[in-house]
Structure formats: C-alpha cells, structure tokens
Structure 1
Amino acid sequence: MREWVETDLGSVVDIKTGFPFKSEQYTRDPDDPRLLGGDNIAQACLRWENVRRWPRSLTADVGPYWLRDGDVVLAMDRPWIEAGLKRAVVHERDLPALLIQRTARLRGTDKIHAGFLRYVIGSREFTQYVLGIQTGTAVPHISQSQIRAFRFRMPDWKTQQAIATVLGALDEKIELNGQMNEKLEAMARAMFKSRFVDFTRTDGAMPVGWSRRTLGEWVDALSGGTPSKANPAFWSGDLPWISPKVMTEIHADDADAFVTPAAIGNGTRLAPRGSTLVMVRGMGLHQRVRVSQARREVTFNQDVKALVARDIEPSLLLFAMLDAQADLLGRVESSGHGTGVLPTGILLAHPIAMPPRDVQREMATPFDLINDRIAVAREESRTLAELRDLLLPRLLSGELRVRDAERAIEAVA
C-alpha cells in the first residue's frame, strides 16, 4: 500500500464561509442566482423548496461566494439532526448559486481530490467529530476553525482519485435512479390529471357512471401519535415510525425511528401497506403538503394522517392526493405558534371524481406499474447506499484496497 499521511482539513482544503446577504433584497426571480444556506442542505442532498435568490444586478462584489460543481457544503448551525449530518455536494444543476453565512464551502485543491474530499466529509469519523465539538444548547453550531482542525489520513493523489471513482460510481447510479423516479412520477402525475381531472366533457358533465365524492367518502382516515419514550418496550423495534421529515419522496418506508408491536394502540397506530400518508401539521406545511405512500406496514406520528383506501384503488388514491397538493396548501391554517395545520375536516372534504371500482382497477394498471418501478429503483438505491457506506470507512482507513472494493461492487451488480 502506498504511504498515507495524517493531515487536517485546513492544510489541504480550500474552506470558505458564506456572506451575510441582506434578506430585504432577496428575490423570487428564477433568472437570479440561488442563495444556498443551511436550510437548503439535507443529508447528502440539496433541497430547493421555497428557494431564496439574489438580484443578478448586485453580484459584482460577491465573487468569492460563487459555488462550483463539486463543492462540498456543510451547515454550521444545527449541523447534525436525527436524520444525519447536513452536508451535500453541489452539482451543475444547482448552479448558479451563492453561499450564505453560517454555511461552509469546502473545495478540492492540488493536494486533495474533490471527489475524495466528498467522502472524507461523508465519513462516520467526520460526523462523530462534529457531534463532539458542536457547542450551544438552543442552536448547536460549529466554527470554521473547528472544521479546519479535523484530522484524517490521506493517501497519494492516484489512490484518492481511485477511491473517489469507485464510490462515485455507486453514487452516480443512485443519482440516476433518483432522476428516473422523478421523471416517472411526473409522467404519472400528468397522466392522472389528464384522465381523472381534465376529463369532463365539453358540457361540463362527468362520464357516465363516474361520481364525485369527498375524500372522506373514499377512504378511512387514521390519526397517529407518539408512544411514550420513557417506555423502552415501545422503541427500537422493526416497524417504521413515520414523521413528515422522512416524507420527502413519493414512497415512505424508511424512518429514523422504529417501534415495536407493543406501541400499536399505545400512542401510535398501524397503517397498512398501500396507505397514503399526508402531512397535516408542521412548520414545513406552509411550503408544501407532503404526500407519500407506505410501501409496507408503518406506524406514524401525530403530524400525519394515514388514508386507507375503502372504495378507491390505492394507487389512484396516491396520485389523487399528489394532484391535490396545491389546493390543500392554499387551505393550510396557522396555529398560535405559527405552525402549519391542515384541519381534518378540510382534508376529508377535498373532492375526488372516480369511475366505478371495476373501471378503476383497469385504469389503475399503468399507475401500479409506474409505482412498482419507482419502488424497485428505490430498493436498488438503498442496496447501493448500504454497500457504499460499508466500503467507505474501510477505503478511507486503507484497510480495503480499491481493487477489492471493485470486486465487491461487481458481486452486487
């Protein structure tokens, strides 16, 4: 094995923190560059919901804060949440973008390969380091000097490049699966709108045999909750406990907390496979009404309603609720603390038009096929991510040679 040297990030990485852009000058013009801050950074991905932008006419003096393809960004306030470390890689599709204060940008240099740097920051060792150094109770935070002080072992450039290539191939496939699923979902949404929303005849009447009913007439609505965290018999089981923060995609079958069967009926409920989950409470409800389908039996908390199909095909229910997101967003109310609330009465009053059940089954076939294809790609990505996370620490420590990692990937493929 070629020689590895111990170093710190500050000695080999170009590190920059963001600029305090004035909020009163933010815009929503899609032609203006995005502003990237900690709230845009999730776990290994960027989120651009409700994005802030900066006037292009005011960018003459912000040169050092432009982001580039391949930059690694890290939230400095609340850098870690239950779902993991808030870090991500900037891609060409995210640009142009500028870096906001309290966010760190790490860039490769002639000493460290940008791809290798990505996995150093994504390593378990860096996460544990951040957890050990963050300070502050109300808002845990880290500083630039603390980021610079992180020490790690670094191989020669050729080995860095090889490690980045091997792990990057896995991430690229995961990314391609995600892009494919986005296209499949968009296609299914458009197809649903065409066949079930924009279906009226020129005289405004529905097709023969169709009926328009409220959501409450099509489904059974279940409320969730939180089992006592003081009772260990309820937690660390095998049943996912879903909260809105994991409802970021069309399917919700992973969670950052799991419960035991003993928790069912003791604070939470079981939603059967195929249920549609709708976010009904939370600060994020002011930006988007999150909708996901449970692809396995799950439990869920009080910020979610589970809709169990009664007289409607499950896949048609899912896409009906995805189609309803914009309408429901306009009906979100605010609690006394500003938290968004979607009242049950308003949710269940949403109208949905459907044909008789036998016709539904036939019309649901393409939606079922698309939904299943999305699920297959998600499962493949989950397997690839698990392999990447298994290989990452062994490659970064020098325990595993790149050639052996390639063989492991070939075996899975």
Structure 2
Amino acid sequence: MPAEYVLSPGDVIVTMTDLSKQADTLGYSATVPDSDFRFLHNQRVGKVTLKDHSADLSFIAWLMRTNGYRHEVLGSATGSTVKHTSPGRILSYSFKLPPVAEQQRISAVLSALDNKIELNRRMNETLEASARALFRDWFVDFGPTRAKAEGRSAYLAPDLWSLFPDSLGEDSAPKGWHSHTLSDLAHQHTATINPGATGEEVFEHYSLPAFDAGGSPALDTGNSIKSNKTLVPAGAVLLSKLNPEISRVWVPNEKGEMRQIASTEFLAFVPKAPASGSLLFALFSDNAFRQTMEGMVTGTSKSHQRISPPALRAVEALVGSSTLFEAFERTVGPMMKLMLQNRAETRKLVTTRDALLPKLMSGEIRVRDAEALAA
C-alpha cells in the first residue's frame, strides 16, 4: 500500500463528495482516531496539511465545522444528485486567524467537550454489550443451568444462581420454564398523530435517518413533518420493522416537556410485567431474535423488506420464568438507566459545544469564559 494513502492518528481529513440529499458532510472535517484499525483515504477524501507554523491543525479542523465555512463550501458545490467540492474551493475560504497560542486554547476547549462525548459513547457501548451478553447467557445459551447440570462452579451471586433450574427438559430448555410470545411480553402501541396539524410544536422525532446518524432523535417542528407518526408512550422500546438484517433498537429518552413521535417504520412495544424495557431491549438486540425476524420478511426489494407486526407479535420470543425476568431487570435496569443518563449528558455537551464553536471562532466569547461554561 503506497504510504500516501495511509492515515495516521491525528491526521485531519475532509469529505470531497457527499451522496446525501442535504450534503450534510460535504467539506466537513474529521480527525483520525488513535486506533488498532488501519485507516486509508481515497481521492474523494482530502487530507489537510499545514503550510507553516502559523496555524494549529486542530483549530483548522474545528474551523471546518463552522456554519460560515460550511455554507461557503455548499454554495460552491457542483452536482445535483451527488455533491462535489474541490481543494481549490475549500482553500478559497477566508477567515481571521488568531495567534497560535489562542488557536490551541480554543481547540482545547472544544476537544475536551468532544472527549467527554466520546467517553459517554464508549461507556454506553460497554453497557449495551454487557446487557446483551447477560441476556444471551441466561435466556439463549442457558449458561447457568448447563453449568449446574454439568456440576460446574457457580459464577453468579447466590441469589441469582438459585433462580436457575439444574437440568434441561426434553425441549432443551431449563425445566419449569415456559415459552413466551412477544405479545405475552409486550403490548404494541399503535396510536398515531399527524404532526403537520400541530403547527410549530416541537417534537422529539425518532426517525430512521436520526437513528442511523448516531442515535439522537431530531427536534422537528410539526409543520416540517409530512406524514403520520407513531406516538411514543412512556417506557416503550422501538424496534424497526424495515430491513431487519440491520439492527435498529431504540430506547427513547426519559419523558420531558416535548412529545415523542416515531417513524411508522418503528414498532413501539411497551413491556407487560414482569417483563421490562431492559428485557425487551436485550431481546430485540439479540442475534437469534434478529435472525428470526430475517426469516419473516416480506417484499422482493432488498432495501424495502419488512416484518408483518401481527406475525412478529405471535413469535415465540423467549423461554424463561417470571422470577428470572424480574431478576434481569434488577441487574440490567441500572445499566439502562445509566445509559439514558449518559445520553442526556451527551445531548447537553453537544449543545454546549455547538453553541461555543461559532462564538470562540469569532472572538465573541473568551476562552476563559468558554472553559467555565464547558466545565
């Protein structure tokens, strides 16, 4: 591989081509992370290098995320379906460059916020993985029951270990456990709303594009939404019925002042006791459940295959016991709560970062004041 195609941690890259309708990433910068992966770039991704020491690379990366820069790049873009820019158009953007020391202080404030956001993302990844692993061990692989049957040592706390049978039945499930359909575990909420009739009301909008863009709902006014949406009730877990080979499972934010709505491509399930939102999240995220969904798709187009909600509700989704469902919630529920808290903190951090970025770049706010706001 030619060395010029290999990227190093800390390199700043910029997108030269964008396939999205709004050209959301055209000209946008990103910094190559320190990772075990090997990152390469091609001709439609530019690498930013500095001519001299008058600029700080991290400052330039942040500059390339400001609205002024983005508007100029988009305004000069070519192409109708696929948007393109060029090094010349990017380099033609002019701006006021503060002294290097000030550049470094500005980028340090913004990067500190980004680091907190990334830390929350990684923590939530770990929490989700732990919840999925526990679910698979208890309800799919029947790990504790198999360990008991084989005379192996306990690997759970005694109060949890005692909940598992010590043998498997003829159906290969732990003795005494029962099969539960999805309808046994949850109610599908189907009430819809026409947001367009609400005028300027702002909704938390759980859409497929928002999920795919990072898992934060969009904040949209009703008159900007052109079709009916599902009203999201408290405690619901959202499961996409579209293209189930792509896992899209969403636990909405805790209820606030805004009403929550979801694309009708999402099915909103509210748990029935003793099942819980944590149990539904882990079930929907499990590979075995997703494979079951993949076997139920209708539609010939690969990109528009869907699940029939009535058929999904009738699926035998889980084998277990009420006491174990309750124990799973006691164990995993705090993880889910922490995940939601991390997401709420991340939303605040993103809002703070995006508010400080133009003010720091324009000199409207001093670094010292920004540091206090970011603390």
TM-score tier after normalising by the smaller chain length = 0.7 to 0.9
1:313 aligned onto 2:271: no
Q: Residue by residue, what CA displacement relative to the aligned partner does 1:89-138 show, whole Å, maximum 9, x if unpaired?
A: 21022741111232223244533212111211111212222332223222
Q: 1:62-101 alignment to 2 at 5 Å? A: 62-78=2-18, 84-85=24-25, 87=28, 88-93=30-35, 95-101=37-43
Which range is displaced more, 364-373 or 136-145? 136-145
SS of residue matched to 1:151: coil
Q: Is residue 2:181 matched to residue 1:214?
A: yes
State the distance in 1 between where 2:120 and 2:8 align: 24
| C-alpha distance in structure 2 between counterparts of 1:253 and 1:275, whole Å | 16
Aligned 1:153-172 pairs, distance under 5 A:
153-172=96-115
Match of 2:137 in 1: 194
Matched residue, 2:94? 151
d(CA) in 1 for partners of 2:213, 2:133: 17
Give 1:379 deviation, angstroms: 1.4
Pairs within 5 Å for 1:249-268: 254-255=217-218, 257-259=220-222, 267-268=228-229
Distance 2:19 2:114 in 1: 22
CA contact 2:241–2:265 (8 Å) conserved in 1: yes
- Distance, in Å, in 2 between the alignment partners of 1:108 and 1:321 is 47
Sort the Cα spacing of 1:126 and 1:249 in 2 relative to 1 into closer, same or farther, 3 A. Answer: closer
Paired residue for 2:340? 375
Shift of 1:357: 4.0
Aligned runs of 1:290-301 on 2, under 5 Å? 290-295=248-253, 296=255, 298-301=260-263
Contact 1:188–1:367 (8 Å) recurs in 2: yes
1:160 match: secondary structure? helix
Gaps of 5+ in 1: 1-58
1:130 and 2:90 matched: no
Amino acid at match of 1:300: A
Task: Find the residue that maps to 2:328 and give its secondary structure.
Answer: helix
For residues 197-227 of structure 1, the C-alpha deviation after alignment (integer angstroms, 9 at most, x for no partner) is 2225553444455321232442233468894
Higher mean C-alpha displacement, 305-314 vs 174-183 = 305-314
CA distance in 2, matches of 1:253, 1:273: 17
Secondary structure of the residue aligned to 1:220 is strand
Secondary structure of the residue that 2:96 maps to in structure 1?
A: strand
| Secondary structure, aligned partner of 2:18 | coil
2:205 to 235, 238, 241: 241
Deviations 1:43-86 (A, max 9, x none): xxxxxxxxxxxxxxxx1xx2212112122333333276569436
**1:377 alignment partner AA:** N
Secondary structure (helix, strand or coil) at the match of 1:257 reads strand
Larger Rg: 2
CA RMSD of aligned residues (A): 3.2
Using the size of structure 2 for normalisation, the TM-score is 0.79
d(CA) in 2 for partners of 1:134, 1:375: 39
Are the equivalent residues in 1 in contact too, given 2:236–2:268 (CA < 8 A)? yes
Spell out the pairing of 1:95-110 with structure 2 (5 A cutoff).
Answer: 95-108=37-50, 110=53
SS of the aligned residue for 1:400 comes to: coil
- Counterpart of 2:230 (choices 248, 263, 269) is 269
Q: 3-state DSSP class of the match of 2:302?
A: coil
**CA 1:234–1:193: 2 relative to 1, 3 Å:** same
CA distance change for structure 1 residues 334 and 163 in 2, over 3 Å: closer, same or farther?
farther
For this pair of structures, how many residues does the alignment match?
341
Partner Cα separation in structure 2 for residue 321 and residue 394 of structure 1: 43
Change (3 A) 1:245 1:179: same
Contact kept in structure 2, 1:224 and 1:304, CA below 8 Å: no
CA displacement 1:226-272 (0-9 Å, x = unmatched): 948xx5x345423222212222599x562253438xx89x7222121
Q: 1:298 to 1:254 in 2, by over 3 A?
A: same
Q: CA deviation at 1:380?
A: 1.4
Aligned to 1:56: none
Give distance in 1, aligned partners of 2:3 and 2:191. 49
Identity of aligned residues (%): 28
CA spacing shift, 1:105–1:214, aligned 2, 3 Å? farther
Q: Which residue is 1:49 aligned to?
A: none
Structure 2 equivalent of residue 280 of structure 1 = 241
Give the match's secondary structure for 1:138.
coil
CA distance in 2, matches of 1:225, 1:147: 45
Distance (whole Å) between structure 1 residues aligned to residue 193 and residue 15 of structure 2: 29
Determine the structure 1 residue equivalent to 2:159: none
